[in-house]
Amino acid sequence: MVGKIALEEHFLCPGFEDYWKATVSDVDPNILTQVVSRLSDFGELRLSSMDRAGIERSVLSIAGPGVQAERDLATAVRVARVGNDFLAREIQKRPDRYSGFGHLPMQDAKAAADELERCMTELKFAGCMINGHTNGRYLDHPSLAPFWERVAALDAIIYIHPTDPVSPSPALDGHKGLRRATWEWTFETGSHALRLVFGGVFDRYPRARIALGHMGETLPFLLWRFDSRAKLYGIKLAKAPSDTIKDNILVTTSGMCSAEPLNCAIAALGHDKIMFAADYPFEQAEEAGHWMDNVALDDNVRADIAYGNAAKNFKLN
Tens of pLDDT, residue by residue, the chain (317 residues): 999 999 999 999 998 988 877 777 677 777 778 888 999 999 999 999 999 999 999 999 999 899 999 999 999 999 999 999 999 999 999 999 999 999 999 999 999 999 999 999 999 999 999 999 999 999 999 999 999 999 999 999 999 999 999 999 999 999 999 999 999 999 999 999 999 999 999 999 999 999 999 999 999 999 999 999 999 999 999 999 999 999 999 999 999 999 999 999 999 999 999 999 999 999 999 999 999 999 999 999 999 999 999 999 999 97
Q: What is the pLDDT of residue 25?
A: 67
Q: What is the pLDDT of residue 24?
A: 73
DSSP E strand stretches across the chain: 4-11, 55-62, 98-102, 127-130, 157-160, 209-212, 249-252, 274-275
Give the type of residue at 127. Answer: G
- Catalytic residue set: 279
- Beta bridge pairs of residue 159: 129, 211
Structural domains in the chain plus CATH codes: 4-313 (3.20.20.140)
Q: What is the pLDDT of residue 4?
A: 98
Rg (CA), the chain: 18
Backbone angles phi, psi at 62, to 5 degrees: -65, 135
Q: In what helix (H) or strand (E) does residue 76 lie, and over which residues does it extend?
A: helix 73-93
Closest among 132, 117, 16 to 75, alpha carbons compared: 16
Dihedral angle over CA of 267, 240, 7, 156, nearest 10: 140
Q: How many residues does the chain have?
A: 317
- What lies within 8 Å, CB to CB, of 94 at 6+ separation is 42, 47
